[in-house]
Amino acid sequence: MGKCTICGIEAGWFKKVHKKCLYKPADPFVGSIKSKKYHKRSCRYAKADSSTLVDIPSCYVAINEGFNPCRVCKPDK
């Protein structure tokens, strides 16, 4: 089975993201163009890589743009 790319919980055979995860309200994030990861603004990796950051308004937009959540700050939780 596949895991949801946002929350990491089993999502089913063909699903990559739960519907509830896509529409979960969240604070704006920043995404690194270089690493294709999105972070909370307070994440140490976002601060370290500030030259290649773009603003991302939600998890939904981040996933559609091809970004993956940071494993350190866990912006999707």
Q: Which residues pair with 31 in a beta bridge?
A: 38, 54
CB 41 within 8 A of CB 27: yes
Q: What span, in angstroms and rounded, lies between the C-alpha atoms of 29 and 75? A: 8
| pTM (predicted TM-score) | 0.61
In this model, does residue 59 exceed pLDDT 80? yes
User: How confident is the model at residue 32, as a pLDDT?
Assistant: 92
All structural domains of the chain, each given as residue ranges with its CATH number in brackets, are: 24-77 (3.40.10.10)
Quick one: the chain helix, strand, coil %, rounded to 5? 25, 25, 55
pLDDT band at 41 (very low <50, low <70, confident <90, very high): confident
Strand residue runs (E) in the chain? 2-3, 10-12, 29-32, 37-39, 53-56, 68-69
